[in-house]
Amino acid sequence: MTAALRRRLLACALLAAASGLGLPGTEAGGVRPKAPRVRKVEPPSWWLGHSLNPVRLLLRGSNLAGARVAAAPGLSVGAPVVSASGTSLFVDVTLDGSAAPGVRRLGITTPGGRAEAVFELLPPLVREGRFQGIGSDDVIYLLMPDRFANGDPSNDDPGARGLHDRSKPRFYHGGDFAGVIARLPYLKDLGATALWLNPVYDNANRLNERETYDGQPITDYHGYGAVDFYAVDEHFGDLPGLRRLVDEAHRAGLKVIQDQVVNHSGPYHEWVADPPTPGWLNGSEASHLKNTWQTWTITDPHATEHLRRETLEGWFADILPDLNQNDPEAARYLIQNSLWWVGSAGFDAIRQDTLPYVPRSFWSQWTAALRREHPQLDVIGEMWDGNAALVSFFQGGVARAGIDTGVGALFDFPLYYPLRRAFAQGSPLREVASTLALDRLYPNPGSLVTFLGLHDVERFMNEKGATTEGLKLGFTFLMTTRGIPLVYYGDEIALPGGGDPDNRRDFPGGWPGDPRNAFEPAGRTPEQQAVFEHLRALARLRAELAPLRRGRLVQLSVGEQTYAYARVGEDQSVLVALNNDTRPVELEVPVAAAGFADGASLRDRLGAGAGMSVAGGRVRLLLPARGAAVYTAETP
C-alpha cells in the first residue's frame, strides 16, 4: 500500500467517523459541508396533555440534508424526514405528560455541523370561558380589523413599507386589535354576542403585483393572502395583542370566531418556490389548474374528473396557491395549525373559508381532530351557492357520498339572495317562505348562519331600490327566523358601499380626526340612528324571548308581500308578521297551529301594532307600510 493510498483511506475513515459523530467533515472533492441552519419551527409550541401527541414539527432552514435530531428533556423524537432541497425537515415529537413546561432545544446535527430548534412545552390548556362554540342563541358581528377602528397608530405601517394609505381602498388603513378592544362596549350595547374577524395571519408586507386595482398593485389588508400561518399580521398587532382581544371579549360576554383558510396560501408564501414536499401544492406557479368555481361538479354524477379537479385543485383567482390536503404532510400541518390557533388565542369557533374547494374527506379528519380536543367548538363553513341542495351536501351530521364533513354550520346563501331581492328590491316575500321550505334538505337548518350582507358582496344599501325601512324590515326577519343571525359591520348604521373594495369602507369614527363618530348617537344621521335603535331592540328581544332563538319555525300565512310565521317553544310562542308592501295592509292570520288559544291577548313587542285577542283560532292585524309586528301572549 502506497503512502498516498494510505493517506486517502485514512481521510475517508476520518470523514466517516466525523459523520457518524455528527462532527464537521468534508464532502467528496474536498468541499466542506455547510452548517445546518434552522430559522423557523412550526408549530413553535404545544400543550402538555393535549389530545394530539406526538406533534409533527416542520423545521424550515437550510443545509438540513442528512440531519439527525436529538431529543430534549420531556421530549422524545422520531426519525426525521428531510426534503430533497434540504430546506424542510419533518420530525415527530412526543411530549411526556409529566414534563415541566418550558423552552426546549432540539439538537440538529449534520455532517456540516450543529444547529438548534427551539420548541416550547406549554402548560395544559385553560378551558374555562373559552372554546365555547356558537349557536342560535348568538348574534354574530362580522368586522374587518383593518377597517373597523385604529387603536394603535404605531403599527399603521410597520417597517415603513408605504402600505398604509386611507385614500387607497386596497391599502392598509390602520385598523387593529387595539381598536376592536376599545369598541367592545359598543358591540355589547348593540346586542352582538360573537365577533367574527377576517383572517389575522401574517400577510406579505409588500405590494401584491399579481393583483391590481385601477391598474395599481394592492396590499393583502383583508388577510386572505397568508405568508406565515403561525404569525399575526403586524399591521393588526401581535399574538399577545390577539390574546388580549379574545380575553377582553370574553370578559365582556362576547365570543370570538377565527377566520381560517386551509384551501390556499398567499401568492408570496415561500412554499410557492420551495414546497416542503413534492405534493404540498396542487400544481406549481408555472403549471396549475385555474379554479372555475363550479362547485356543482363535486356532486354531479355526470361530471368528468377533470371538471372536479378544476374545482378542488384549481388556484383561486388563478393566483392563490392551492394547498393539497391529499398530501399527508400538508394535511397534518393544516390540522395542527388549526388546533394551535384555537388553543393559543382561546377562540370559540372557526369560520372556514372556501369550504367546497377542499376534499370533503379532509374536512372529516379535520373536524374530528378539533372535536377531540374541543368538544364544544363549532365550525361555520363558507359554501357560497344559492342552491340549497348543493349547500346542504356539505353540512355535517349525516354522511353524503359516504362522508360526514363534521361541519355543523354553513352560511345560508340560498336564503340570502331572496332576502336581498325582497327587502331591498321589493320582490315578493313568497320567495323567502318557499326557500325556507327547503330546510328539509339540511340535517340541522337551525345552525345555518343568516345574513343580509358580507364583506364579499355589495352592501344592502347599494341594492337598487334599497331604503332604510327595507333594511329595518330585513333585520326584523333576520332576528326572528330560524338560524344564527349575522350583522356585517356598518350595516347597523345603513353604511353604503358597492362591490369590493367599496363595501369595506372604514367605520366612521374609528380613526382620530374622522369628521364624525358613528360609534356615538351624535355622529349618526336620524335615519342611521333609527336603524341602529331598531336592530338593538330586536337583539334585546331575541335575547329575552327563547322561542326566537330556539323555537320551531311554523309558517302561518304567505302572500305576495305579507308573511306571518311563529316561533314555537316549549312554554311560549312568538308571532311575527311582516308587510313588505309600500302601503298598510290588514292581514288575517290563523294562529291555532302556533299554540295561541282563543281569548289569548297578544301584545306587539315592537310597539307598532295594537293589542288584540285570538278569536276562532285567528287574529286580524293591521301592519304599516314596510313594517312588522312581533307578538307575544300577555300573561294573565
For residue 612, list its beta bridge partners. 602
Q: 150: left (phi > 0), else alpha (psi -120 to 50), else beta? A: beta
Residue 513 to residue 258: CA distance in whole angstroms: 30
Residue 95 to residue 106: CA distance in whole angstroms: 13
Catalytic residue check, 353: yes
For residue 58, list its beta bridge partners. 42, 90
**C-beta of residue 283 within 8 angstroms of C-beta of residue 315:** yes
**626 phi/psi in degrees, rounded to 5:** 45, 45
β-pair type (378-381, 612-613) = unpaired
Catalytic residue check, 492: no
Residue 389 to residue 393: CA distance in whole angstroms: 7
β-pair type (378-381, 409-410) = parallel
Identity of the amino acid at 510: G
Residue keyed to cell 400577510 = 203
Residue 324 to residue 327: CA distance in whole angstroms: 6
DSSP string computed for 236-304: T--HHHHHHHHHHHHHTT-EEEEEE--SB--TT-GGGTS-SSTTSBSS-SSS-PBP---GGGGT-TT--
Q: How many residues does the chain have?
A: 636
**C-beta of residue 295 within 8 angstroms of C-beta of residue 383:** yes
476 to each of 49, 402, 533, 628, how far by Cα in Å?
46, 39, 12, 7
Q: Which one of the listed residues 259, 313, 348, 353 is annotated catalytic?
A: 353
Q: Which one of the listed residues 322, 382, 412, 604 is annotated catalytic?
A: 382
What is the DSSP-derived secondary structure letter of residue 309? H
Identity of the amino acid at 224: Y
β-pair type (102-110, 573-579) = unpaired
Q: Which active-site residues does the annotation give?
A: 353, 382
